[in-house]
Amino acid sequence: MSDDTTHFGFEKVKTTDKARRVADVFHSVAAKYDIMNDLMSGGVHRIWKRFTIEMSAARPKQKILDIAGGTGDLSYQFSRIVGPEGLVVLADINDSMLSVGRDRLTDRGVAGNIEYCQADAQYLPFPDNTFDCITIAFGLRNVTDKDLALRSMFRVLKPGGRLLVLEFSKPTNPVMEKMYDQYSFKILPFMGKVITNDADSYRYLAESIRMHPDQETLLSMLEDAGFSDCEYHNMTSGVVALHKGLKP
C-alpha cells in the first residue's frame, strides 16, 4: 500500500480521507455509544477496562492521559484514584464523543481534577515528559499512522511512565474465532441498525478490528517506538488484548 493510501476497514482510501471517514462514524454513534458497548460485549467491556485500571498502577497526585477517552469510562475511575491533587486529561479527536464524555462525567459529579482536550493521537499537544500514565482503549485501530501515534505517546510520557493499549485483537481459539466472525459480520451490523439506525458504522468497526495488528505485531510496534518491558495480556480468548510498555 502506498504512502498516500490506507485502510478504512476493508476499503482502501486516501490517507488524507481516513480521519474524516472515522470522524463520521463516531459522530453517528456517539449518542448511543455506551448502550451499544454494553450490548455488543454483554457488559464484559467493563471487566476489560477494570483490568486496565489495575494494570495502570495509578496513584494519587499523578497525571494521566486517557486518549480516545470517548464517554469517559476510564477517566472517571482515574479521577477517583488520582484525587484532587492529580489530573486526568480526557482526550478524543472526535468532538461529538468528547461532548458526550464531558456531559456524562459532569453528571456523575466529576470536576476539579479533569480536563478535556480535542486531540489527534498522532500529534499530541502536550510538552515532553508530562504524564505518569497514558491509556488508549479501543482507539488505536482507528488511528491512521499507528507508529507515529505511539511515538507521540512515548514523547509525552515521563521516564518510568507506562502506556496501556486496550484493543480488540486476534482470537487464540479457532472455535472462538469462527463464532466471533459470525457475530461481527452478521449480528453486529444488525444491532447497529436497530439501536443507532446505522449498520454501516458498525460494519466498519468490525472490519477495522480485522485490519488491526495482531498481538505480537503490536508488541513489536511498541518496542520500535522506544518502549521497554513490553508485554500483553489476552482476555476473552484473545478477542481483546491489553498491551503495556514502559518509558525507560
pTM reported for the whole predicted model: 0.87
- Domain count across the chain: 1
Annotation: binding site for S-adenosyl-L-methionine: 71, 92, 120-121
Q: How far apart are CA 209 and CA 213, in angstroms?
A: 9
Inside any domain, residue 90: yes
pLDDT tens-digit profile of 125-156?
999 999 999 999 999 998 999 999 999 999 99
Average pLDDT, the chain: 89
Report the CATH number that the domain containing residue 39 is assigned in CATH.
Answer: 3.40.50.150
Range of the domain at 78: 32-172+216-246
Q: How far is CA 143 from CA 83, 148, 175, 209, 216, in A?
A: 31, 9, 29, 12, 19
Annotation: binding site: 71, 92, 120-121
pLDDT tens-digit profile of 86-118?
999 999 999 988 999 999 999 999 989 999 999
* DSSP assignment string, 151-177: HHHHHHEEEEEEEEEEEE---SSHHHH
The pLDDT value given to residue 205: 79
Inside any domain, residue 224: yes
User: What is the percent of the chain with per-residue pLDDT over 90, rounded to a whole number?
Assistant: 65
Where residue 170 falls among pLDDT bands split at 50, 70, 90? very high
Inside any domain, residue 120: yes
